[in-house]
Amino acid sequence: MKERETFCEGIVSYSQEKKTLKKPIVLVIAVFLMASLSACAEKREASRETGGDVPSKILATVNGAPITEEDVNRSLKRVAHGEKVAPDATKNILEALVRNELVYQQSIELGLDKNPEYRRKLYEAEAKLRDYKKQELSALYREYVKNKAVVTDSEAKEYFEKNLKRFQTKVHIGQISYKGQEARIAEDHKELKSGKSFEKVAAKRFPDLPKGMKAPWDLGFLYWFQIPESWQDSIDRLKPGQTSEIIRGPNERFWLIKLVDASVDPKITFATEKERIVEILRKRKTDELSETMLSQMRKKSDITFPK
Whole-Å CA distances, 52 to 15, 42, 56, 65: 45, 12, 12, 18
From residue 263, give the alpha-carbon distance in Å to each of 168, 274, 277: 8, 21, 21
What pLDDT, in 10s, does the model give residues 17-67?
444 444 555 554 555 455 555 544 444 444 434 444 556 899 999 999 999
3-state secondary structure 155-196: HHHHHHHHCHHHHHEEEEEEEEEEECCHHHHHHHHHHHHCCC
pTM above 0.95, yes or no: no
Q: Name which of 48-52, 98-102, 269-273 the model is least confident about.
A: 48-52
pLDDT at 141 over 60: yes
Q: Which residue type, as a one-letter code, is found at position 111? A: G
pLDDT tens, 168-183? 999 999 999 999 999 9
Does residue 58 sit in helix, strand or coil?
A: strand
What pLDDT digit, counting tens, does each position of 240-253 carry?
999 999 999 988 99
Is residue 220 within a helix (H) or strand (E), and if so which, with residue range? Answer: strand 218-222
Mean pLDDT value across the chain: 84
pLDDT, tens only, 148-206: 999 999 999 999 999 999 999 999 999 999 999 999 999 999 999 999 999 999 998 89
Are 293 and 148 contacting, i.e. CB atoms less than 8 angstroms apart?
no
Residues of the chain with pLDDT > 70, as a percent, come to 80
Distance of CA 56 to the CA centre of its chain: 34
212 pLDDT higher than 50: yes
Tell me the residue length of the chain.
307
Tell me the C-alpha distance between 305 and 61, whole Å. Answer: 43
Q: What CA–CA distance (Å, rounded) separates 42 from 33?
A: 14
**33 within 8 A of 293, measured Cβ to Cβ:** yes
pLDDT at 207 over 90: no
3-class SS at 257? Answer: strand
Q: What percent of the chain stands above pLDDT 90?
A: 66
CA–CA dist 230, 15 (Å, integer): 9
225, 221, 243: which is closest to 234 by C-alpha? 243
